[in-house]
Amino acid sequence: MKRADVRLETGEAKIVFDDTKQTPSSLAAAVDKLGFQASVHAVTAAPKPTLYVEGLKDTKAVRQVESTLKGVKGVKGVMVDPGLGEVFVEYDDHAVNPRELVAALETAGFKARVASP
């Protein structure tokens, strides 16, 4: 598994995994083994990162990136992979664009760039 975005309020999780090593069924079985009920609702291709950000060395930096981006009008969700410096942003492309997201992060003191499409 590469990443998990768990929503406690809805009891759902989005999981990004390497399909050469795992299957949705094997991941659900692993969650069941931990004592939780799991089922697969949908499988989609892994998202591509929106941005790359340098300096994500600790939880404080990750939270600052999340908070900065969530404060930008049009941003709906943010998921950060600090190990790779990848930032996945769900946003309304009528309200904001990736270059504006980079500008917001640079204002907050981070070095960021738009990921290649």
pTM exceeds 0.85 for this model: no
Domain final position from 46, 63, 82: 46
The per-residue pLDDT of the chain, averaged, comes to: 89
Q: What is the layout of strands, in order, in the sheet containing 51-53? A: 75-81, 86-91, 51-53, 112-114
Residues 84-97, mean pLDDT to the nearest whole number: 92
Per-residue confidence (pLDDT) for residue 49, from 0 to 100: 79
Specify the number of domains making up the chain. Answer: 2
Lowest mean pLDDT among 26-40, 55-69, 93-107: 26-40
> Are 18 and 55 in the same domain?
no
Q: Which helix (H) or strand (E) holds 101?
A: helix 98-107
How is 30-98 classified by DSSP, letter by letter? HHHHTT---------PPPPPSEEES---SHHHHHHHHHHHHTSTTEEEEEEETTTTEEEEEE-TTT--H
Residues 68-85, mean pLDDT to the nearest whole number: 93
Domain limits for position 70: 51-114
> Are 37 and 82 in the same domain?
no
> Are 56 and 104 in the same domain?
yes
pLDDT at 102 over 90: yes
Residue 102 three-state SS: helix
> Are 55 and 73 in the same domain?
yes
CATH number assigned to the domain comprising residue 107: 3.30.70.100
> Are 41 and 15 in the same domain?
yes
What's the pLDDT tens digit per position in 5-52? 888 888 888 887 777 788 888 888 988 999 988 888 877 666 677 999
